[in-house]
Structure 1
Amino acid sequence: MKALLLLFLLLVSGCSTVETDTAIAEVASGIPLTETEAYTSANRKIRFLWREQVYDAGLQDSVSTIVIDQALADQLTDAERAALGYVVTFIGSACEWDGEANEELSNLKCRALTALDLGYQCSDQHLGFLQNWFRNDQDVLARLASCPRVPFTASSQQTFNEVYLTTQGDKIQVWFSASGVNVPMNVSWQWTEENDFLVQDDAISLVKVDQSEVVRGELGLEKGL
């Protein structure tokens, strides 16, 4: 089991190498980075999530690990939490069962949702918060109705490499790079995406999605692995 887990983590790490440089993120969004401590400025672009190589004593190896700026997460407005919460609903952030998976599969704990104080994946706390904030956006509500539950050990999965948040007045932008693997098909892919949101009073809407070309490749795994 440890060998299989290490394989998954190494695959994710390998797919993460192209899109993890901060300079790439700056070029993609066209908005310069502000100082990290300027959480309360009117116009800011801040890194919410990224990856670092961290040694795992159980696996006896360094693995690519998701890191989240919890200080930033604690200071977000509810509208910003809604924008980030929507984006992280559909891509993995080190999601794992809290203990054993229960019959309802309702105890999947994802690192990004936990940082945003939104509870388990697809829970009433998670979806109720998003459904309230996106109540005027029927397309988003329809997509939330198909909330996925994918643990990070799934043989086919997608995960984040970086996530940046920019707030300018009533506009919120979430830019991310992500990668995916499908072990049975021996394929990997990666892409970047920018989601633009508009805040109106106490509601938010998704107004634009700009996705890069998806770059695909082979994992190079031996048959029968």
Structure 2
Amino acid sequence: MKKLSKLFAHIGWVCIPALATMLACQSSPKKDTETAHATSSYPDTTQPVNNTDSIGLQDRSVKFLWREDQVMEEYDATVSTIVLDEAYVDRISDPEKAALGYVATFIGNECAWDGKATASRSNLKCKILTALNLGYQCSDTHLGFLRKWFRDDSAVLKKLESCPTIPDGATSQETFDRIDVTVADGKIAIAYEVTGINTREGKQWTWKATDLFIYQNNGLKLVKAEKSDPVITDFEWDVP
């Protein structure tokens, strides 16, 4: 059993040994079982809420995302795979869901086309959004939920207009290594670590960030976003 090069195992790609000379990588196949613009019903956030307990926003600290090595027997290799705290997802409040959904919008998290990519790129299935029941990347379900919760945050709404659809295997992409969630006093802090890669330029990088959201007026606002400078290094293809 071989372990893929640290770089590509970290990103979460599976490189088929038989095609190594072609440097071809692909993500796991997905079943075409979802519609691009699924509909969902959300709680009415226009009505006043007297305290955060009534919407389930309670103080806690959770490791939401991390990575574990997974054996891929068909490729005789192991690959670093994203793991989510499913128990936390089952009891997550809508404000926490919105905060995580916003952060996940702009960083890769094992995203792959559900079947063949549509011309409108409307069937990109990502691990975090799927777990949060927010549909495809940039779908009406996904963006509609976020726009409702961030309706009073013009900067967030503006950024959501540039929702990306970048699948695993793209020439340049980023992915999560870790996400921690801390809820305290009506505030939600999302701390995360990211790895990026550009195969054309032979560059890889890592950086960390913390986004702080505040719950008020039955909505969320991003009040602080801190990001470290990226640590950039060169790499060479490690072909078996």
Query: Shared topology, TM-score over 0.5?
Result: yes
Q: Pick from 170, 174, 190 the counterpart of residue 174 of structure 1.
A: 190
CA contact (8 A) 1:187 1:218 kept: yes
| Structure 2 counterparts to residues 67-106 of structure 1, below 5 A | 67-106=83-122
- 2:15 is aligned to none
CA contact (8 A) 2:61 2:180 kept: yes
- 2:32 is aligned to none
- 2:177 is aligned to 161
- 1:9 is aligned to 8
| Structure 2 counterparts to residues 64-213 of structure 1, below 5 A | 64-213=80-229
Write out the 4+ residue segments of structure 1 that deviate beyond 6 Å after TM superposition: none
Distance in 1 (CA, whole Å) between partners of 2:10 and 2:95 is 34
**Secondary structure, in 3 states, of the residue corresponding to 2:156?**
helix
Q: Which amino acid aligns with 1:159?
A: T
Matched residue pairs, number?
191
CA contact (8 A) 2:57 2:95 kept: no
Distance in 2 (CA, whole Å) between partners of 1:41 and 1:146 is 29
- 2:234 is aligned to 218
Distance in 2 (CA, whole Å) between partners of 1:42 and 1:140 is 24
CA contact (8 A) 1:92 1:158 kept: yes
CA displacement, residues 5-32 of structure 1 (integer Å, 9 cap, x when unaligned): x67733626xxxxxxxxxxxxxxxxxxx
Distance in 1 (CA, whole Å) between partners of 2:9 and 2:127 is 19
The alignment's C-alpha RMSD in Å is: 1.7
| Cα shift at 1:183 | 0.1
- 1:43 is aligned to 59
Distance in 2 (CA, whole Å) between partners of 1:82 and 1:197 is 10
**Secondary structure, in 3 states, of the residue corresponding to 1:128?**
helix
Q: Which amino acid aligns with 1:163?
A: I
CA displacement, residues 156-207 of structure 1 (integer Å, 9 cap, x when unaligned): 1000000011111210000000010000000001001000000013210000
- Normalised by the length of structure 1, the TM-score is 0.81
CA displacement, residues 65-103 of structure 1 (integer Å, 9 cap, x when unaligned): 011111111211100000000000000000001111111
Structure 1, unaligned stretches of length 5 or more?
1-5, 14-39
> % of aligned pairs identical?
43
Distance in 2 (CA, whole Å) between partners of 1:175 and 1:58 is 35
CA contact (8 A) 1:86 1:130 kept: yes
Distance in 2 (CA, whole Å) between partners of 1:12 and 1:106 is 23
| Structure 2 counterparts to residues 27-66 of structure 1, below 5 A | 42-66=58-82
